[in-house]
Structure 1
Amino acid sequence: MAETVDALAAPDAALARAVAVLAEGLPVAIPTETVYGLAADATRAEAIARIYEVKGRPRFNPLISHVSSMAMAERHGVFDPLSRALAEAFWPGPLTLVLPRADTSTVHDLATAGLSTLGLRMPDGIARAIIDGVGRPLAAPSANTSGGVSPTEAGHVAADLGRRIPLIVDAGPCAVGLESTIVKVEGDAIRLLRPGGLEAAAIEAVAGRPLQRPAQAGAAIEAPGMLASHYAPDATLRLDAEDVRPGEALIRFGGRRLPGEAQARLVLDLSPAGSLREAAAHLFAYLKRADASGAGRIAVGPIPQDGLGEAIRDRLKRAAAPRP
């Protein structure tokens, strides 16, 4: 099983251990404010290949490269004025920018799936310190089997990948609980490739223009999280449920009770108070708990579409999509 180091009790020791394992070209599960990531040196082909091997990830799905500073970001991506303004406003934080690759970039083609662009993000907390210690970008998709539910606690990683990786850095539950929002500036337009932990309205306020919404299903993969089927538990999902059927587990929102929930195998409320931020933080953990209940199907009550509800509904829609 993977070694687990406690970054809350001993941050310096956890940092040193993570940097040492990453320097060997091995993957390490690290906590970010969004979800736990499976990190490896983004400039080394063999290190990136280990991520794909551990996750069972399709090779055409690109990886985000995580940086610790603007100076590091500028060595790998070409920033237009709007992308720079967004980075200055929201980094470190749950925003990924898809940018043209700089001539000076050493991020390996395996991390970008052969694209001429790359996704860059600056995470917060110990993840940023680990990247700084390595001195190079870290590719870090969510630390779970590809297509499965993203981990928001170290225990989720251990249960899924614990026998396949050497180290898990534990910093407790992730504060945001949803992957980063991904955007791409194209001339005067800005496209939302994946809704996530940063609300679209906050980006629009800085950009001074509306975001163009995600491409339709079947479009070319430009960023992580664009596969039609993704974030899926073993159980099937029934979305916008107005009742609960025998044997289902229920995930609801806002304290709204649904007819038939007394016969549910498990009832979970993403936020009894109706907070979308709280719901986002609980989403993946609750999907895992509902899946572990033994129910063959999970009923999910209605979720608002505004604010972070857009990202929550996006994850649920992909989790409910037909499996490839």
Structure 2
Amino acid sequence: MNAITCRNLRKTYPAKPPVEAVRGIDLTVQVGECFGLLGPNGAGKTTTMEILEGLLDATEGEVEILGQLWGRDDDAIRQRIGISLQETRLSDKLTVRETLQLFRSFYPRGISPDEAMERVSLTEKSRALTDKLSGGQRQRLAIACALVGDPELLFLDEPTTGLDPQSRRQLWEVIHEFRKTGRTVMLTTHYMDEAERLCDRIAIVDAGQVIALGTPRELIAKIGGHQVLEFRVSSGTSPEFLAELEQLPAVQHVRTAGETISLAVTELHTTLPALLERLRQRNLELVELSSRTASLEDVFVTLTGRHLRDDAP
């Protein structure tokens, strides 16, 4: 049994012309894995997530959660999942403990408020009003509310947006501890490093469709280079020059972002001397040069063209 299976998922909003937010998505999430759903704004990932969570009806398609179907087994599914939205509005006049007691009352079984607080390191704040919590503490409380029903499947919609680095790492640890029990996590995030660190597999969504699916390592391999060479030159570059860069040895892909040119390469030691020689031939002065390991961010930009579209006039 899979944790999530959706087939030919579609969501169309009435308009002139109709808006197709989701256009035939097929996904399978295995029990016990952390699955990431990534995409630029307007790509359809939030709509997809809300359909999987049972918060939004699909126009077409079938969604199976833990072997049960939305539209047939709704009450049973809700008892087995936990949801933490990107922004959760909690009562300012309740304490942390009272908030968790309220959410615990929604489920016939689950964990105690004390255990939920312990899981997210909020025990010392049990008597604090929610409006007195920091941003990171409020986000941990929101996740505790999703955990108090002891879910088998946890949905997290951008759980660390706006948090400081320490708060982000604390939430990562909460997710790791949840998964140690064999439970399943599905999350969206705008942080590529977070997706690389947390997710076993990732689907990249653009224009309402899945355009790439695999492990972070598999997706990075798709851009063809294990390393990225980035540089800037003193004067402008021409399309002819960019075409020449594509012919350099070991270069798999060329991308521009503003004045910075990025080369995805398989053998840095082979490409670098050839690049320097090409710059000398064209009398181009090197202003900046760096190299790094290819990341999921490179995959995202290559596949969606997000930075290229942002830079477009």
Q: Establish whether TM, by shorter chain, passes 0.5.
A: no
More strand by share: 2
Which is higher, the Rg of structure 1 or of structure 2? 2
More helix by share: 2
Calculate the TM-score normalised by the size of structure 2: 0.31
